[in-house]
Amino acid sequence: HLAERGDRVAFHWEGEPGDRMDITYADLHGRVCRFANALRALCVERGGRVAIYMGMVPELPVAMLACARLGAAHTVVFGGFSAEALADRMNDFGATVLVTQDEGWRAGKRIPLKANADAALDRAPGVAHSVVCRRTGGDVAWRDGRDLWFHEVEAAAAEECPAEAMDAEQMLFALYTSGTTGKPKGIVHTSGGYLTGAASTHRMVFDLHDDDIYWCAADIGWITGHSYIVYGPLANGATSVMYEGGPGFPAQDRLWEIAERYRVSILYMAPTAIRTFMKWGDSLPAAHDLSSIRILGSVGEPINPEAWEWYRDHIGGGRAPVMDTWWQT
């Protein structure tokens, strides 16, 4: 989209502590190219494997798209998973590089992502390098020769990185099932078919218009986030909101505050979150101007009628249709 949309915002990113960043398509392209070159310097090539264990920071989609640009497959492991779960997935996937961060923010608490990653790396001998994004600035253990700072390898890399042309059936990424019914299974998503599906459903199911501000309030660690925060919206040249933290911090109206600030027109979230907002009370969304919202989405599980009606009436003002999907890995 660089020719027509280089200056358009790809992500309005908001950190839980309140820091904000607008990332244009040109910004994102430059960062992806540099990080792809940084990965190549760590011997990640076409057909390589990279694991990603991060919170909702801009470096997460940068890392995913850098892998795609090289023709290397990625597997994103949800930042709430344990060191054991991360190690099992890295070993099964055959990852040689892990991209993680020092700590993450969640409901005002620091999540020890690198400490968890270090414990996982002790059980994953095939991973040679750990690239660490500095988020909180907290003290973390460091192993010279293995651990590298994300911002340092990115800054040292060249700005040009032509994209590899891939076969349609080449693996773009694998995402693992939760493991609640047995050993987690790595589900392969291919370059051509997956991107076609993500882009077309994002455009048509959400009735995407050129001036929409779109917000999938999910985590990229799940398939919904892959498809409807990263690949689908970016393929369609959309402007999205990306939020780092918990929905009720520092106050229970945080999501409505963000939706009002960016004039969100399409909002997508899970019924579990909707039911939580119902318990917190009708007055919280009523205190914010949500008149920009024209489409509501529900995802991740079946939605009950009471939550559907509350969502339509209190978030959509009784006018926005609610479309219900149930995506799985």
Q: Give residue 29's pLDDT.
A: 98
Strand 322-324: give its sheet, edge to edge.
20-24, 9-14, 239-243, 213-216, 266-269, 295-298, 322-324
Predicted pLDDT of residue 179: 82
pTM for this entry: 0.96
C-alpha angle 229-231-235 in degrees, rounded to nearest 5: 115
Cβ–Cβ < 8 Å for 150, 62? no
Q: Is the peptide bond before 125 cis (omega within 30 degrees of 0)?
A: no
Each residue's pLDDT, cut to its tens digit, for the chain (329 residues) gives: 899 999 999 999 999 999 999 999 999 999 999 999 999 999 999 999 999 999 999 999 999 999 999 999 999 999 999 999 999 999 999 999 999 999 999 999 999 999 999 999 999 999 999 999 999 999 999 999 999 999 999 999 999 999 999 999 999 999 999 888 889 999 999 999 999 999 999 999 999 999 999 999 999 999 999 999 999 999 999 999 999 999 999 999 999 999 999 999 999 999 999 999 999 999 999 999 999 999 999 998 889 999 999 999 999 999 999 988 766 66
CA distances from 207 to 211, 214, 251, 305, 320 (A): 11, 11, 31, 23, 12
Residue-level pLDDT at 182: 86
Tokens 């994102």 belong to 28
